Chain A
Amino acid sequence: MTAPALEVRRVSMRFGGLKALSEFELTLRPGELVGLIGPNGAGKTTAFNALTGVYAPTEGEVLVAGARVDGLKPHQICARGVARTFQNIRLFRELTALDNVRVACHAGAASGFFGAWFQTAHHQGEEARILARAEAYLAVMGLSHRRDEVSRSLPYGEQRRLEIARALATGPKVLCLDEPAAGMNASEKLELMQLIRTIRDRFGLAILVIEHDMRLVMGVSERLLVLDHGVTIAAGTPAEVRADPRVIEAYLGDAYLEERHLPAPASPPEGGGPAAGAGAP
């Protein structure tokens, strides 16, 4: 088999004295769907930021399809095939749904400003291709009917889907989804997870999902990675992770124990993560 779609080798992130992520390791093969879980403040989003170049990792290496990308700028990493969504939706709010996706199709455009000014044939061909691609991605995410609406006016769930459409439009090998189902109700979440699987199968992507809803992420992922205080405390199949006592203590914590009418552990982990994490109705 060829090189993995994404390979992360012992990546650490330090902010001043704080080690937000330590020796993070991950290998994603094409077509794999892996969940990244952990309580609030565990370093999940930091891991995403280190992978996608928002921060340069303090230590370690990130490889996309066998080539080093750590230390590159986010747009360069994007061009090499890593796309992402954001925890707190970051659409181009005043642009239409179509234009949001068209921006992401832009990376391959080569005609430049002069092409635009002189309306060269090359430029016009490129615009037509971009338009067709953007419309295709909108259709995949079921947003064709919102094509010309300003993105900030879309309902919340559609904004999340539009972010995924936008990320797909960059033509990634690896798709990183940061809490794509946050704020959705149970049935919407389930629907979204089905959609994510469909996308994975259709485009042959490797997908890394941060998700707070334990049940959901366990149902959809083939493998899980559990972070706590920046440290990977467990990795494996959902069944293995579920049985890991460290995970139960760090992440499932109170909620899990309460559910089974067990007494809380003597020293619960810091932060309000567990309650919020399992708090889906």
Chain B
Amino acid sequence: MWISKISIKNFRPFYGEQEIIFDEGSKDKFTIIEAKADTGKTSLLSAISWCLYEKDIGDLDKERAHNVFNLQRKDELEEGAIDDLKVEITLNEDYSNLPKYIIERECVFQKSGARMVPIRIPSVKVSEWNDSNDSVIYDTPATQAFCRNIINSILPEDIHMFFLFEGEKLEKHFSFNNSENIKSSIEKISQIEYVKSAHLHLKKAREKVHSVKNESKGDKELERNLSLIDERRSRIEDIEIKIKNANLDIQRAESRINEIDLELDKVNVPLLKEWASKRANLEKSNNELNNTYKNLQKEITSSLVKTVPHAICRDALESMLKSIEVSERKDELPPKIKNVYIRELLDKKTCICGRNLDPDFDEESHKACEILLETLKQNDLSDLSQTLIEGRFHIIDLLKKVPQTLLDQRMASLSNLKDIETTISANNAEIAEINEKAKDINEKGIKSLNEERMRLRDGLKVQEQAVGRLEGAIRKVEAEISTLSRENDNIAKKMNGYEQTKITAEFMDRAIKHLHSIHKDILAEVRNTVEQKTFESFKNLHWDQTNYTVFSIGADYKMKLKDENENEKILDISSGTKQVLLLSYIAALSEVSGFKFPIFIDTPLANTDNEQRMNIAEKFPNYLRDNQVILLVKDQEYTPSFREKIYSRVNQEMRMIKEGASTKVRPWE
């Protein structure tokens, strides 16, 4: 999909009817539109957004939103005169197999005093060309909804901001400290609306079935249990909200502590610098120890859960072992001779010991043949003896392993946990000592930073403990629900007509759970793909000396960028590197969304200084390869040296020029 023409009439600074023509060469190249500040770059994005969705881009203030009609044209018009505002976008106007579209939105205005007032609601018209080059036009009031559908099939409204965006606002929008917008962007491109609405629909249907289930109960105890279950479920929801809020507070406190550490690192007091770095290292070590502690705890639990069944069944295992040994001793088990060998002996009529095996030869040969034929009959059990031999070893090993795991290894692991606890306590004591010493430093600003840091750390501890307690409380309530549900199942089994409703309700519970897991899987998959594509693009674009080895978007939707020494760098990178990372992220979002629409970036290299810009320019031609990219650049951004560096990717250059109250787009001269 590529844009071949944009026509704008009387939209904001664009006076009269103006056309921006993109030639075929721009399909996978950069088109540069250079302009001075406040000439109308953002208005061009707004015009496209308005044409597609009747929506303005960005957060223009009310006053400016009201002045959507071009001021120069307004001043020319007589009182009561009528004129229209129109934006038209032509897509795929070439001889390729792509379907051609023209999307046109128009609104008629009338001059009333100093204002232009819309006299009709804006209408959209979509012209579509099929393979045989026949066109269909949808332009009646009845086809407005259909037009919206066509537009949304070209580029859905809720993801258009990843194709039409302002470089200046990237950093503000996708803050590394706040993962909400990152989560929302990944949710949007995942297109999981249908899964979400199916989930919602099923939940409503389940409520209905459950209310039937409640009505048909007729048993006071069951009724009481159901209301207790409901009450406990809402208690869990409340606790989960508290946990979420506490985690947000923890996130905020951790970010602030990181910021304070960076500030303290810049301070020119050597002793404090040393202390601050030691304290940060001790805290880092404690974090790692805490993780090790949690993982070890999980390992101990896993090991216990896996061993307990075997320990409980020890009698059965021992009895089995005894049976195998007794059978072996008594020769109850058939020999492990394969049928094929016995048949071979009988065919050859000679045993390996030399005995004649012709049954008619003599009495003894006859007997020997009979024994072999009998063995052949039993031989389907030879597999049994082989299996039992295998089992014997497994059971002996298992019986040896169970007490070792349950007693010795468990004791050793629990003692490891204690050691970790001791190290964490020692580290905490050392941190407290540093904090005490730092209190005496009276340098301006440092004292307050240190105090704030200590407060935040203390708060963090309290919050983390609170989260632990709340999680414990959830598990306790879950256990209560489990008991109540079980009691109800027992009551329900004795009631008429309840069984079928219960089956339906349970089916719906299963379906909801399944949908929830699909929802989670899709999001995880998209998150991983975006993560991978962002890092690929970032590695192609960034220039600084650091060897970044890991970029990740965690399950909490927080971005992390690590160097080869595993140091977290995301809050430490320069504004230029940050801009490049976010440009990579947005490129990944647009690619993973699966929609191939041209990408318009207003001031792509905002927030960067001249040196950073030059460095970015070296690799910028690799950005969003195979896409039509329209870069709306400021004149001071598009310097001759920058231009020279990205020229290999540029197809067309244009310039936006402001003349009075109107803006014109002219080819570059």
Are A and B genuine complex partners?
Answer: no
Give me the interface of A with B, judged by CB distance under 8 Å. none
